[in-house]
């Protein structure tokens, strides 16, 4: 699944070793697409933040992530919440 943001390809998401089939293939693709969209938003935010930080300052960036997520509003906040919840949703019942 491509990770797209503003007509830009940021990467690719691949899921391997599915344990059991609890959803239809279409439902699984929809969930994967939702997760890919949220991951692309988060990746875009992180790359923007990295571009603004000095080289070797990754630890400070990681410590600042809660503050970054706390400043998000509206759709971006909803996207960040979905990103944090996606692993649980993908794991299924």
**Does the pLDDT at position 44 exceed 80?**
yes
Mean pLDDT of 68-72: 81
Residues contacting 41, CB < 8 A, separation 6+: 5, 76, 79, 80, 83
Q: What is the span of the domain harbouring residue 64?
A: 2-13+22-91
Q: Which pLDDT does position 93 carry in this prediction?
A: 65
13, 5 contact by CB (below 8 A): no
* Domains of the chain: total: 1
CB atoms near residue 36 (< 10 Å):
20
pLDDT band at 5 (very low <50, low <70, confident <90, very high): confident
pLDDT band at 53 (very low <50, low <70, confident <90, very high): low
Phi, psi of 7 (to 5 degrees): 65, 15
Start-to-end C-alpha separation, the chain: 23
pLDDT band at 88 (very low <50, low <70, confident <90, very high): confident
- Alpha-helix runs per DSSP H in 1-93: 25-52, 58-71, 74-91
**What whole-number percentage of the chain has pLDDT above 90?**
0
């Amino acid at each position: 699944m491509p990770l797209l943001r503003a007509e830009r390809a940021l990467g690719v998401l691949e899921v391997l070793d599915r344990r059991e089939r609890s959803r239809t293939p279409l439902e699984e693709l929809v969930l994967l697409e939702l997760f890919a969209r949220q991951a692309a938003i988060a990746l875009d935010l992180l790359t923007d933040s990295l571009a603004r930080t000095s080289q070797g300052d990754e630890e400070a960036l990681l410590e600042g992530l809660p503050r970054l997520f706390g400043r998000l509003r509206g759709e971006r906040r909803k996207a960040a919440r979905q990103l944090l919840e996606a692993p649980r949703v993908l794991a299924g019942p």
